[in-house]
Structure 1
Amino acid sequence: MSPSAVWPHPIFVINLKTSGERRTACDAQLTRVGLTPTFVEAVDGRTMSDAEIAAIVDEPGRLRRAPKPLSKAEVGCYLSHLAVLETIVAQDLTQALVMEDDLLAGEELAAVLAALAEKVLPPYEMIKLGISEPQVKPFTPIVPLTEASTLVRHHNVVNSNLAYVITRQGAERFLRYGRPIRYPVDVAMNRSWRHGLDILGVRPWPVLPNPAFNSTIGQDRFENPAWTPLGRRIERRARKAYDSLAKRLDLQARLKRDAAWRSRHDGA
């Protein structure tokens, strides 16, 4: 099956210029399943000056939402995804597959992409195809894609940008929301109750993380400082409570729309 028959849209893979081994491994993974990627040079946030970071990151806003500042690597990752989304909009692409380079392509990936390109699907702006951590994520099935894979609505956010399909409308929507920077890009892109992106997923995941490579962002993003001022802790708890309620209400509304769509398309 030729790449155009599998997925007649661009495939962008974000890769640091210094990570040649990752590029080679990723290219081999995608070539194995009949896909031809376009590699996009990632922004290396570690080389950015403090002044450059300060110009694009709302650090006071960040610290009202999280216990510590974003790392330079996280900022670089954010800018890398923004650059791909800007390309999608500038080239007026219908949609594209966006991937990070530390992936393993599952045997179902090509068939899943072919189904996404050919089947009648509910409206969407983003479809998650992989996750960086082997987490349990409950979901509601929407429509079968292949004998083994299903398009689903996750009940919780999937904070991973390992692999996702995004439409031009979805790219535009996030670009309107995504500045100034206050979150890691995967967290920001999943805040659908704030920016409105309609985010679906595919299960089982057709893309998995490659255990041969460690994250270039680093695991310290998940570590919290030993002490945070009381006022910040109180504000973060209030924001978290609001987000929790907003997420539940948003999910309920989207599940109702999914059910209505299934009802209209049963037997189609």
Structure 2
Amino acid sequence: MKKYLISLEKDVKRRELFFAQPDTQDFSVFNAINTMNETEENLTALFDAEGFAQRYGRNVTKGEIGCTLSHLAVYRLIEADESIAEDEYCLVCEDDALFNQDFAYHLDCLLKQPLRADIVLVGQSKIPAFNHSELEINYPTTFSFLRKSIAGSPFKYAYTYRNYFAGTVAYLIKKSAAKAFLAASEKRLPFWLADDYILFGADFALEVCAVRPLLVIENPCLTSNLEDLRGSLQHNFWQKLIKYPAKKYLAVKRNLGR
């Protein structure tokens, strides 16, 4: 399986931390597209900022443009690689990825399963632990005993109650799905956030499932303020808890028959 690491060329320390982890020697580094010094005129030719504002109700940042364009550029590499089959998965990571213990082994176990999804979220951003309670309360899947087991591994996979913005720290994507993104960007300039899995499911007709617990989180060493992150997750905790039963019902319903 081809593995890609998206990283700004200047972020040497982040790459060092990433490659200090076991089983990372087979990642190909893609130098992320740095848009911070680009003019608005140049960016207009690459990204539909007006379309972004219409969808998200705010202006796009240069960093968000660079993120979306970088992931699309990796998809072009996948499309051009004739050694990758249409239904074969590739792993895409960002340089703040922190792998769970024995990541490579559990990933191999996962890939042996009869996966249907076009995109498999093996990681999530803005989560301080691989099995943090926020995953279940705010982004539930079906009951644990109903999730799809991964032979030889304690991890499982399932569909969440609905697609959501999970970040792009680590995910599997089929070549056919990568080509769907490229086809969409040829019809119209990209206007989406790189992790808008809601759009990808509704408009691109891509199936997205998730692994629980997470196999990848953002490296806390690179999180600017972990305490602020934890505090934000606790914000409106009781409101999230009130919504939990309805979300759990939707998750169970969505996973039935899949």
User: One fold, TM greater than 0.5?
Assistant: yes
Cα shift at 1:198: 1.2
SS at match of 1:185: coil
| TM-score (structure 1 length as normaliser) | 0.72
Q: Which residue of 2 aligns with 1:53?
A: 43
Q: Which residue of 2 aligns with 1:131?
A: 124
Deviations 1:45-69 (A, max 9, x none): 1022211111122222222222321
Cα shift at 1:255: 3.2
Amino acid across the alignment from 2:177: G
Match of 2:63 among 59, 70, 73: 73
2:140/2:251 contact within 8 Å kept: no
- Aligned equivalents of 1:155, 1:142: Cα separation in 2: 13
Q: Percent identity?
A: 25
Instruction: Report 1:105-124 matches (<5 A).
Output: 105-119=99-113, 121-124=114-117
- Aligned equivalents of 1:189, 1:27: Cα separation in 2: 31
Give the number of aligned pairs: 214
Closer/same/farther in 2, CA of residues 35 and 56 from structure 1, 3 Å limit: same
Q: Which runs of 5+ in 2 are unaligned?
A: 128-133, 225-249
Question: Structure 1 residue 195 and structure 2 residue 173: aligned?
Answer: no
2:125/2:169 contact within 8 Å kept: yes
Ranked by relative contact order (alpha carbons within 8 Å, sequence separation 6 or more), the top structure is 2
Q: Which residue of 1 aligns with 2:54?
A: 64
- Aligned equivalents of 2:221, 2:31: Cα separation in 1: 21
Amino acid across the alignment from 1:99: C
Match of 2:158 among 123, 134, 152: 152
Amino acid across the alignment from 2:61: S
SS at match of 2:36: helix
Closer/same/farther in 2, CA of residues 87 and 253 from structure 1, 3 Å limit: farther
Amino acid across the alignment from 1:129: V
1:70/1:183 contact within 8 Å kept: no
Match of 2:74 among 84, 88, 94: 84
- Aligned equivalents of 1:13, 1:39: Cα separation in 2: 5
- Aligned equivalents of 2:89, 2:9: Cα separation in 1: 25
| TM-score (structure 2 length as normaliser) | 0.75
